[in-house]
Amino acid sequence: MALQNKSVQKESMQQKEEVEIYSPWREAWRKLKKNKMAMVGLGITVLLVIVAILAPYIALHDPLKVDLMKSLQPPSSEYPLGTDRLGRGIFSRIVHGARISLRVGLITQSIALIIGVTLGALAGYYGGWVDEVISYLINVFLAFPFLLFAIAIMATLGPGINNVFLALAIVSWPGLARIVRGQVMSLKSEEYVEAAKALGANDFKIILKHLIPNCMAPIIVTVTLGVASSILAEAGLSFLGLGAQPPTPSWGLMLSSGRSFIRTNPGMMVYPGLAIMVTILGLNLFGDGLRDALDPKMKDN
């Protein structure tokens, strides 16, 4: 009897391990780890987050302190990337600029996530006139080019980093809503949804606890890629003078202020441009890797 109990316990433990091994999220992480470019993107993304969190400790100088006596200095031990026209350390401003970029990406996509998931889930679940109205709004918003629409909104609201959050959220939610709508429409006829209805669950509970959790894979991918788009759009708006305003250490604003010194001090444009390029590349690589890992149709080679 003791041997039988031990064998039964061993079999149950093996079954539990198999369930854990073949968990969808565990399987997605396994696929993601096999994608070298995705892991490079993840590393860049993690580095961006660390730099943003520890910016006051990493930066060597106050990014807002003006010292005209040290204007346009070349790279040195004191200023690793040199100084700008006001004597501010370019390295310190780039480090603090990571905070601005990360805030823009996360806050913008958080707002877009709330709006897009809510409207998309309602349209996909209820259909009928609700779907027609929401789909019409989605099509109207998607009819405008992303950046031009953001510029138009910023021209109406006025420049400022807080208005950037709102403008980019407004232009970001329609794509997310359309994805969620399609997912919910395909899932609402599944057996587990019918079983929840038979047990008396209301529409709110069905959408929140059964439908949206099963849409998380495309939502995560879309939001990850959306963070990259938002960071790039903020840099463009700040470059045009519609985003962050001086003396905020925004990468786009640094590019704009360095235009006049492209020949005499090219580092004023090159270094923030590289920061933008590496950040967007990392997020896009990570987002593409997530898409491949979370897509059940993708198979290992």
**pLDDT digit string, tens, across residues 168-210:** 999 999 999 999 999 999 888 888 888 888 888 888 888 888 8
pLDDT band at residue 95 under the 50/70/90 scheme:
very high
Cα–Cα distance for residue pair 26/282, rounded to 1 Å: 22
pLDDT at 12: 55
Look at residue 188 in the predicted model and tell me its pLDDT.
86
The pLDDT score that the predictor gives to residue 11 is 58
**Cβ-based burial of 138 (10 A; exposed 0-12, middle 13-18, buried ≥19):** buried
Q: Give dist(CA 211, CA 125) in Å, integer.
A: 9
Q: Residue range 20-43: average pLDDT? A: 80
CA 253 – CA 258 distance, rounded (Å): 9
Cβ 292 vs Cβ 27: under 8 Å: no
Averaged pLDDT, 99-108: 94
Give the C-alpha distances (Å, rounded to integers) separating 276 from 38, 147, 286: 18, 17, 15
How far apart CA 254 and CA 257 sit, in angstroms, is 5
Q: Residue 253 corresponds to which tokens in the numbers above?
A: 């604003």
Burial tier of 67 (Cβ tally within 10 Å: 0-12, 13-18, 19+): middle
Q: What region does 38 belong to: left with phi over 0, alpha with psi -120 to 50, or beta?
A: alpha
CA distance 102 to 298: 30
Span 246-257, pLDDT tens digits: 888 999 999 998
Given a cut of 60, whether residue 4 has pLDDT beyond it is no
Does residue 23 register a pLDDT over 60?
A: yes
Give the bridge partners for 89, in sequence order: 83
Domains contained in the chain, CATH given: 36-294 (1.10.3720.10)
Calpha distance 286→32 (Å, rounded): 9
Tell me which residue of 255, 237, 239 sits closest to 108, measured CA to CA.
237
Please tell me the distance from the alpha carbon of residue 72 to that of residue 96, in angstroms, as a whole number.
19
pLDDT band of 18, cuts 50, 70, 90? very low
Angle at 49 between CA 118 and CA 53, to 5 degrees: 110
**Structure tokens that stand for 15 in this block:** 């079954």
For residues 281 and 41, is the Cβ–Cβ distance under 8 A? yes
Q: List pLDDT tens digits, range 214-223.
A: 888 889 999 9
| pLDDT > 70? residue 301 | no
- 16-30, 62-76, 283-297, range with the lowest pLDDT: 16-30
Looking at residue 296, what DSSP letter applies?
T
Residue 141's pLDDT is: 92
Residue 20: predicted pLDDT = 47
- In the chain, what is the straight-line distance between the N-terminal and C-terminal CA atoms, in Å? 46
pLDDT value of residue 293: 84
Average pLDDT rounded to a whole number, residues 38-56: 94
- Is the confidence at residue 108, as pLDDT, over 50? yes
The stretch 113-127 carries a mean pLDDT of 93
At 145-171, the pLDDT tens digits run 888 999 999 999 999 899 999 999 999
Sorting pLDDT into bands at 50, 70 and 90, what band is 57? very high
Output 284 or 24, whichever has higher pLDDT.
284
| H/E element, 115 | helix 90-126
